[in-house]
Amino acid sequence: MKIALLGYGRMGKAIEKIAQDRGHEIVSKIDKNFNEGRLNQSDVAINFSIPQAAVKNITSALESAIPVVCGTTGWLDAFEEVKQVALKNNTAFLYASNFSIGVNLFFKLNELLAKMMQNQTDYKASMEETHHVHKLDAPSGTAITLAEGIIENADLTKWSSDNAAEDELLIKSIREGEVPGTHAIEYASKIDAITIKHEAFNRQGFALGAVIAAEWIADKKGIFNMNDVLNL
């Protein structure tokens, strides 16, 4: 399979190595300072560019009828626009806030626990997410996805990153060192606390998941997410 990399930072380089190890060819690399190869020669594009470049990169590929897998967060106000471009050009688009297999299982665990806690009014939910100092958006896309899973199953109206009201879910964001990504959800009462946590040890899980998603989407048309890829 011929792959275009839209964004060639640390994630792009990790994806490149795994893709090549799995027998794929990188035919295009696009980043803010260079544009190598030919995008129109690719079978699928994987986008991990900065949020400010995401929409332009994604739509350029979709308008050439190239399926796109996107892991960039911080641009979702334009999601519907991108979705329509994919449908108009009869191609495929797959967005995930996190491509790690473990994180996607954690999403399901989070939803299950939230349903179990629906009637436990003595417990209040909160979240803490920690990432490396280079991450530009806060809260993380993964944290927002987790928050949505909680809010859909709880008596909460929205999430907040500061001074959360009684009907809001507090998300505390920490940026330190080179932490790949840690997400912890706590349900606390005056008596005890229940905590679930996912901790990434490196970026390999994210990169492998993105390549698996690209392999899956290459011959498809429509709008997808990692639940489709993993059949969850």
List the catalytic residues.
Answer: 131, 135
Is 55 within 8 Å of 78 (Cβ atoms)? yes
163 Ramachandran zone, left/alpha/beta (phi>0; psi -120 to 50): left
- Residue pair 179/202 in contact (Cβ under 8 Å)? The answer is no
Residue that the structure tokens 């334009």 belong to: 78
